[in-house]
Amino acid sequence: MAISKERKQEIIREYADWLKQSKAVILTEYKGLPMSELDTLRRKMREMGGEFHIIKNTLGKLAFKEVGLSLPEKFFEDSTAISFAFDDPPAVAKMMTEYSKGSDFFKIKGGYLGNQVMNASQVKALADLPPLPIIRAQLLGVLMAPASRLARTLAEPARQIASVLKAHSEQAAATGAS
């Protein structure tokens, strides 16, 4: 059944909106993948705060063009599905990469991270990054380390004086008891 021109424009606008909101976009080939597995991917993607859709290549090209992004022509060959990562690009890339490892029918073509085009190997490298909460914790640790070292350095002279006073008082108590 053919899609009306109005519906096509609606789909292009929806994809363009998602492209604007996404921190990363990953394009995949899904040829031969059963619908049940595609539905599982969609559900997992929504749980991660993203979207996973099968797209018509011509509508996908038009949506990318509408937002001012250009992708290599090979990304829109054969069957194409697109993942929109709204919150955590490394987690989405990891899910797509792990799924492609276990399937002969599912292959990563490439995508975008921000405004930067990524090929399939760069998507896999993005998947190797730790999830966003871990990155934030590591960054916080790096930022907090100098402050805690400074606090320890400033407290050290007072600790040393307290140790000397304690040692003198213990020595005085020991000589007074004898």
Whole-angstrom Cα distance, residue 102 to residue 98? 7
Q: Output the CA–CA distances (angstroms, integers) from residue 43 to 7, 51, 148, in the order listed.
A: 24, 9, 43
- CB 23 within 8 Å of CB 86: yes
**What's the pLDDT tens digit per position in 52-101?**
999 998 898 999 899 888 878 888 888 899 999 988 888 888 888 888 88
**Please, which pLDDT band fits residue 1 given cuts at 50, 70 and 90?**
low
**Please, which pLDDT band fits residue 173 given cuts at 50, 70 and 90?**
confident
Rounded to two decimals, what is the model's pTM? Answer: 0.69
Question: What fold, for 5-129?
Answer: Alpha-Beta Plaits (3.30.70)
Residue ranges of the domains in the chain? 5-129, 130-178
